[in-house]
A = this chain, B = another copy of it.
Amino acid sequence: MKTSGANLDNSAAKRPARRNPESSKRALIMATLDTIAEIGITDTTVSKIIQRAGLSRGMIHLHFGGKNQLLAAAAKSFGQEYFDELDHRVQQATSGPEDVITAVIQADLSEALMNERSTRIWHAFRGAANSNDGIALYSSTRDKRLRDTLHSAFKKIAQEYGEAENSALARDATFGLLVLLEGMWVDYLTNANAFSREVAVSIVLRFIAGLFPNHFQQSQS
The 8 Å CB contact of A199, one of B41, B123, B175, is B175
A176 and B203 contact, CB distance less than 8 A: yes
B39 and A42 contact, CB distance less than 8 A: no
| A127 on interface, CB distance cutoff 8 Å | yes
A126 and B42 contact, CB distance less than 8 A: no
A120-176 contacts to B, CB under 8 A, are 120, 123-124, 126-131, 140, 143, 162, 165, 172, 175-176
**Closest residue on chain B to residue A143 by CB atoms:** B190
| A80 on interface, CB distance cutoff 8 Å | no
B123 and A126 contact, CB distance less than 8 A: yes
Count of identical protomers in the assembly: 2
**Closest residue on chain B to residue A211 by CB atoms:** B206
A130 and B182 contact, CB distance less than 8 A: no
Please give the number of chain A residues whose Cβ is less than 8 angstroms from any Cβ of chain B in the complex. Answer: 42
B179 and A203 contact, CB distance less than 8 A: yes
| A100 on interface, CB distance cutoff 8 Å | no
| A217 on interface, CB distance cutoff 8 Å | no
29 of the cross-chain contacts (CB-CB < 8 Å) are A40-B130, A40-B131, A41-B42, A42-B42, A43-B131, A120-B127, A120-B130, A124-B127, A126-B186, A126-B189, A140-B190, A140-B191, A143-B190, A162-B221, A165-B221, A172-B206, A175-B203, A176-B180, A176-B206, A176-B207, A178-B183, A179-B183, A179-B187, A180-B183, A182-B182, A183-B183, A183-B186, A186-B186, A210-B211
